[in-house]
């Protein structure tokens, strides 16, 4: 497994596990939004109404998914940047169990031989902090970036206009550097007031529409609020939770873009002579 972690620095300030304590500055919670107020549940931030998880075998149906592209295209090198906060970094799970690591494993099992998923999640990250490290993370020259950010800002009750402006800045920077962006939608618990919660959730589809992005509607769908799929903090997914996120939430959006991009790369790599020869043989 070749899975890099590009967290620029990690200090106690950014330790996500600490965030649950006295300050209430928890990053990206994973509880579902209750129909009625529930007891014995820690207050979290990246939450919403969620559905029951779909049971997924980690390697189910992976070998049947490459029929649409040929062996040459599958061999093209591809770099995917996983960019975000502790949900991306995988706080509390082994390095091979976070979503970037599992995603790379799944893609290779599906036949994408030269794909690399680079983990650039940083615990405690806000949209402002992410914007400030964009020049550094884009040195990886990602072909595709999965961007999941903003819940820390919302948990602190920061101005929605600032959150949206930062996400737009990040998307534009990544696009200007040649990366296709897939935006991970986020939703938060309604302890900040219904208007704030709804306005925050609306940021992501609006940006996706305005900037022509593919979008994961809710990154934690089927995992948030499911106790057996989250760690003891009720915030961060377990290995099994990340498996569901990868298979059910990320891959259905990512795979068509990977296929399209690899076919395009393969076609563009042919010289005029090679193109002519290929056409003649056909």
Cβ 108 vs Cβ 70: under 8 Å: no
With tokens 């995988």, the residue in question is 90
Catalytic residues: 86, 233, 236
Which residues are bridge partners to 147 per DSSP?
A: 83, 183
Phi, psi of 41 (to 5 degrees): -125, 130
Q: How far apart are CA 186 and CA 130, in angstroms?
A: 16
Measured from the Cβ of residue 160, the count of other Cβ atoms closer than 10 Å reads: 17
With tokens 């259905």, the residue in question is 252
Which residues are bridge partners to 81 per DSSP?
A: 118, 145
E strand map for 9-139: 78-84, 115-121
Classify 161 as helix, strand or coil.
Answer: helix
Cβ 100 vs Cβ 91: under 8 Å: no
Task: Note the helical H segments in 11-111.
Answer: 71-74, 86-89, 99-109
Q: Angle, to 10 degrees, between the axis of helix 160-176 and the axis of helix 194-210?
A: 20
Give, in degrees to the nearest 5, the angle at Cα 102 between 98 and 108.
155
């Amino acid at each position: 497994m070749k899975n890099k972690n590009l967290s620029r620095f990690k200090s106690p300030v950014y330790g996500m596990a600490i965030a649950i304590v006295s300050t209430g500055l928890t990053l990206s919670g994973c509880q579902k939004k209750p129909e009625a107020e529930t007891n014995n549940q820690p207050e979290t931030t990246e939450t919403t109404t969620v559905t029951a998880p779909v049971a997924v075998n980690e390697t189910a149906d992976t070998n049947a998914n490459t029929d649409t592209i040929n062996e040459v295209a599958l061999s093209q090198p591809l770099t995917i940047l996983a960019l975000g906060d502790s949900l991306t970094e995988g706080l509390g799970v082994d390095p091979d169990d976070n979503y970037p690591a599992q995603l790379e494993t799944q893609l290779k099992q599906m036949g994408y031989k030269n794909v690399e998923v680079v983990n650039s999640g940083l615990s405690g990250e806000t949209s402002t902090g992410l914007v400030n490290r964009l020049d550094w993370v884009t040195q990886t020259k990602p072909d595709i970036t999965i961007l999941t950010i903003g819940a820390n800002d919302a948990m602190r009750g920061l101005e929605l206009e600032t959150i949206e402006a930062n996400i737009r800045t990040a998307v534009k920077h990544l696009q200007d550097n040649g990366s296709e962006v897939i935006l991970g939608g986020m939703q938060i618990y309604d302890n900040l007031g219904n208007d704030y919660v709804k306005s925050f959730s609306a940021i992501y589809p609006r940006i996706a529409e305005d900037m022509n992005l593919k979008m994961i509607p809710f990154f934690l769908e089927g995992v948030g609020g499911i106790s057996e799929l989250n760690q003891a903090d009720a915030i961060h997914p377990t290995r099994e939770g990340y498996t569901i996120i990868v298979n059910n939430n990320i891959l259905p959006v990512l795979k068509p873009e990977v296929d399209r991009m690899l076919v395009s790369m393969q076609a563009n790599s042919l010289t005029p002579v090679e193109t002519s020869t290929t056409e003649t043989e056909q």
